[in-house]
Amino acid sequence: MDKKVDIDWKTLGFDYIKTDLRFISHYKDGKWDEGQLTEDNMLHISEGSTALHYGQQCFEGLKAYRCKDGSINLFRPEENARRMMRSCRRLLMAEYPEDKFIEAVKKVVKANEHWIPPYGTGGSLYIRPFMIGVGDNVGVKPADEYIFSIFVTPVGAYFKGGLTPTNFVVSDYDRAAPVGTGAAKVGGNYAASLLAGKKAKERSFSDAIYLDPATHTKIEEVGAANFFGITKDGWFITPLSPSILPSITKYSLLWLAENRLGLQVREGDVYIDQLDQFAEAGACGTAAVISPIAGIQYGDDFHVFYSETEVGPLTRKLYDELVGIQYGDVEAPTGWITKV
């Protein structure tokens, strides 16, 4: 922490800031090389790279947190490693092994330690592992060569306002197909969501809500985050579907809701015309953390949950528990924290 960087930590948003070093490894002739840290943030790849034409790429997102005692926490990084391997299998890409993934994450975080926002500022170091299919290709088939890389960038709140409730609008577009790639963290899903997100923001909503692509009756995702609702009779409910990304934050909240807050929990259908059952609702994810949902616009109907301005008490409790664990202030369930 001897090097200093010139950043106003309190006003950090969610934008790319070039940090000192990133990790890069190449896959060729059926194996990964050892990989290395590099100052170069540019990639020089073949014009025939499958990532450029056929979307053969995937990525992850996790964070490093600076604790009160100065140490650095990673939150469940092995879950990101495993999810990335599942994304790779879905797109026929070379898998990057879990132990090497975690080792590389630690290496990059350590090398950019002075970019981690100080404890108490609410910021964190966002970690972006990604993989692309490269090499000289032109036909639609998986590449023989891949690049795996990890960069980091300091971030603050993803949705403006942090724990302030904001409004979302149900989109007419789908982000994924019923038996498509929705459960994999692959760029195509995000490309498909850009227009819906833009239209939502033009109407002053935080982001678009996607319904299930087969029947358009059930909530699936809230922008790049999962949905949860807490019913008036104390159930924590979150959608279950093969076309949503299995959020690590969401599975952590399911556990915390049950084991720390004493709520009943269920993954299941959340019908867009049955929002009255919920006393509180939120969006959750690594970037979003927990963003309380004030209201949802669905056609001409605007449904308000707890309040348009105040965060509900159970949403706040979940937030305090989750964020407390991530920053090392609250005791973590076994295996949830990896020290750098």
Ligand X SMILES: Cc1ncc(COP(=O)(O)O)c(C=O)c1O
**Cβ neighbours for 96, distance < 8 A, ≥ 6 positions apart:** 25, 32, 81, 84, 85, 88, 129, 131, 148
| Least CB distance to ligand X at residue 31 (A) | 29
Q: Which is nearer to ligand X, 137 or 226 (CB)?
A: 226
Compute the residue count for the chain: 340
Quote the CA–CA distance of 80 and 129 in Å, as a whole number: 9
Strand partners, 26: 147
Residue with structure tokens 């709140």?
Answer: 157
Q: Angle at Cα 309 formed by Cα 280 and Cα 162, nearest 5°?
A: 80
| Least CB distance to ligand X at residue 83 (A) | 7
Is residue 226 a contact partner of residue 218, using CB atoms and an 8 Å limit?
no
Residues within the interface to ligand X (CB under 6 A) = 61, 221, 224-226, 245, 247-250, 285-287
Is residue 312 a contact partner of residue 279, using CB atoms and an 8 Å limit?
yes
Query: What stretch of H or E contains 124?
Result: strand 124-134
Q: Which is nearer to ligand X, 163 or 248 (CB)?
A: 248
Q: Which is nearer to ligand X, 21 or 230 (CB)?
A: 230
| Least CB distance to ligand X at residue 125 (A) | 15
Strand partners, 221: 210, 226
3 assigned to active site: no
Q: Which is nearer to ligand X, 84 or 116 (CB)?
A: 84
* Phi, psi dihedrals of residue 272, rounded to the nearest 5°: -65, -20
Quote the CA–CA distance of 228 and 50 in Å, as a whole number: 36
Quote the CA–CA distance of 24 and 198 in Å, as a whole number: 32
Q: Which is nearer to ligand X, 20 or 338 (CB)?
A: 338
Residue number closest to ligand X, CB atom: 285
- Annotated catalytic residue: which of 63, 185, 218, 250? 185
Is residue 275 a contact partner of residue 269, using CB atoms and an 8 Å limit?
no
| Least CB distance to ligand X at residue 146 (A) | 21
Q: Which is nearer to ligand X, 135 or 153 (CB)?
A: 153
What are the E-state strand segments in 135-262?
145-155, 166-170, 207-211, 219-222, 226-231, 235-239
Q: Which is nearer to ligand X, 286 or 291 (CB)?
A: 286
Alpha helices in the chain (DSSP H): 50-53, 77-90, 98-111, 187-202, 248-259, 313-326
Q: Which residues are catalytic?
A: 185
